[in-house]
Amino acid sequence: MDSVDLTKIERRVRLRYEWARLRRALLGFAPVLVIAAIAVALARHPSVTAGLGLGAFLFGVILLWYGRDVRRAVLPGVAAGLVPLVLSLCATHLHHCTGDGCMMVCVPACAVGGLLAGIAVAVIASHRRAMLTFLVPASGLALLTGAMGCACVGYSGVVGLAVGYAVGLLPVLVRRVARRGG
């Protein structure tokens, strides 16, 4: 069929392929919106939590849409991020978060949650061949998900989460660098 312009058809089909991937990614990552909605309902600063939730959702959708290796980081990243999220939300609600009391309970909860998330991501990453393409997206998602809860005490909660996460991740990174050097 010589009259058929294959380049034009290919371009059109490619566009439909990308739309289909985006649709799947939006549907596949929709449960995170439920998690974000729960976090917003329990948060002390709903607007900040909503912003972080939206960021986590968009980041996850982009990863799923892009596919390949980074796609495999989505579930572990969200699962790891749930640890600091749940810990910080529990700390906020079980312990009446006011003034210094909040700093004494929420910030450590975020740091411990971050540490556990970092260890979890590090353990999974060490079992994978494509380490960087896993570590970066999984860490991004874990931190964004965890930050939805840790934002309850402002920047200090988020910093506590990030420090704890980095500490959890450190052994794997050090081992990786050492192996490369040796």
Applying CB under 8 A, the residues found at the interface with other proteins are: 1, 3-4, 6, 9-10, 12-14, 16-17, 19-21, 24, 65-68, 71
Q: Report the alpha-carbon distance of residue 86 to residue 62 in Å, rounded.
A: 24
DSSP state of 97: -
Taking the least distance from each CB to other proteins, the nearer of 25 and 91 is: 25
Q: Report the alpha-carbon distance of residue 47 to residue 23 in Å, rounded.
A: 27
Torsion of CA 70, 51, 155, 63, to 10 degrees: 0
Least CB distance from residue 137 to other proteins, whole Å?
A: 13
Nearest to 72 by CA among 117, 132, 30: 132
**Residue type present at position 144:** L
Q: Which SS3 state, helix, strand or coil, does residue 99 take?
A: helix
Least CB distance from residue 67 to other proteins, whole Å?
A: 2
Least CB distance from residue 131 to other proteins, whole Å?
A: 18
Least CB distance from residue 4 to other proteins, whole Å?
A: 5
Taking the least distance from each CB to other proteins, the nearer of 3 and 98 is: 3
**Residue type present at position 23:** R
Taking the least distance from each CB to other proteins, the nearer of 9 and 94 is: 9
Taking the least distance from each CB to other proteins, the nearer of 10 and 101 is: 10
Least CB distance from residue 19 to other proteins, whole Å?
A: 8
**Residue type present at position 37:** A
Least CB distance from residue 27 to other proteins, whole Å?
A: 11
Taking the least distance from each CB to other proteins, the nearer of 10 and 41 is: 10
Taking the least distance from each CB to other proteins, the nearer of 41 and 66 is: 66
Q: Which SS3 state, helix, strand or coil, does residue 27 take?
A: helix
CB 150 within 8 A of CB 160: yes
- Give me 83's structure tokens: 């640890």
